Structure 1
Amino acid sequence: MLDTDTIGYLAATFTTTAFIPQAWLTWKTRRAEGVSLMMYSIFVVGIALWLLYGLLSHAWPVVVANVITLMLASFILLMKIVYK
């Protein structure tokens, strides 16, 4: 049986790696027309809040996932702003 942290780390792995193709495509093509500036702005704030929640509650799978996701989503958001 999987313990709670293992399930959390598995969920974190899947949800975090989902951003890698978008980040790679944006970097590779230097284009971000299909990326919503409003959606990513709201999303980055939400991820930052989840990270804070994870830190305050010592939920390490949440912290690890959101540190990585925050970096990837912030990168995509930055590329959207730069390539506008």
Structure 2
Amino acid sequence: MNISVADYVGYAGGFVSAITFLPQVIKLAKTKSVKDLSSLTLFFLFLNVSLWLIYGILVNAMPIMLTNGIVLSMIIMMIYFKIRYNKN
């Protein structure tokens, strides 16, 4: 298996993208405060990442699949927290 420079860049970019939402997920878990978390933003993030994941699967691009699989799991956690801790 030959890994190209482009693959390394893809994995590095994917790693950075994948951890983008980690601080938010940790903060939501600790504070249980979701009042400033936009449901519409979560919806569009979920849609965006789902489409990128499907694209990655269709073109067999492992960096795209890994990145968006991880990000999707964090977005699902944020949606879960939004539903569970919403005090409306």
- Report the TM-score when normalising by structure 2: 0.89
Write the distance in 1 (CA, Å) between the matches of 2:21 and 2:31: 16
Shift of 1:31: 1.1
Aligned to 1:15: 17
AA of the residue aligned to 2:81? M
Aligned length: 83
Q: What are the Cα deviations for residues 26-72 of structure 1, in whole angstroms up to 9, with x where unaligned?
A: 01111111211100111101111100000000010000000000000
State the identity as a percent: 28
Structure 1 segment 4-83 matched on structure 2, within 5 A: 4-83=6-85
- Report the TM-score when normalising by structure 1: 0.93
Structure 1 runs (4+) greater than 3 angstroms displaced: none
Write the distance in 1 (CA, Å) between the matches of 2:75 and 2:24: 9
Rg comparison, structure with higher value = 2
Write the distance in 2 (CA, Å) between the matches of 1:43 and 1:79: 15
Computed over aligned residues only, the root mean square deviation of the Cα atoms, in angstroms, reads 1.1
